[in-house]
Amino acid sequence: MLPTPKRFTLCAGAAEGSHKLNAFDNALLEAGIGNLNLLKVSSILPPGAQYVEKLQMPPGSLIPTAYGSIVSDQAGELISAAVGVGLGKDTFGVIMEYSGKCSRVQAEDMIEEMVREAFRTRKLQLLRVMVKGVEHTVSQAGCAFAGVALW
């Protein structure tokens, strides 16, 4: 079992590449986590986890990450990804991820509502919502990525 994360950060990036996988890789680099190994996790932030502005880990580190991403090779298409973290008092947090064919603002608005719903469903008091998103207009092969890295 992995240790329970004590810190988290929100990151987002968008980029082009010659192929979809290169676009995804370039978006990870733009988000600041391209040299790490992401372990995709579901959406619960451990109690007491502290927000850190920037993730600094050695290359190749295994990093649990809740994320949304979208890749496209349709020139001119607008794609976006966003993540949000809901924080409550003396409890765990909830992370939501979204990606789609919309603007950054639309993706961020959707994320905020998803976080609010998650807290209502759990009957938890929501104190703060943190949201980060990105949008990209595809040229050749593009990717929008947003994640919450936990460590």
Which residue of the set 18, 35, 37, 139 is catalytic?
Answer: 37
* Residue 30 is a catalytic residue: no
* Residue 69 is a catalytic residue: no
Which residue of the set 26, 72, 80, 97 is catalytic?
Answer: 97
Closest CA to 84 of 126, 47, 23: 126
Q: What is the DSSP string of 82-117?
A: EEEEEEETTS-EEEEEEEESS-HHHHHHHHHHHHHH
Q: What is the DSSP string of 32-49?
A: T-TTSEEEE--SEEPTTP
* Residue 97 is a catalytic residue: yes
Which residue of the set 26, 43, 69, 72 is catalytic?
Answer: 43
Do 33 and 151 form a contact (C-beta atoms < 8 A)? no
Rounded Cα gap, residues 147 and 133, in angstroms: 9
34 Cβ contact list (under 8 Å, min separation 6): 25, 26, 28
* Residue 43 is a catalytic residue: yes
Catalytic annotation, residues: 37, 42-43, 97
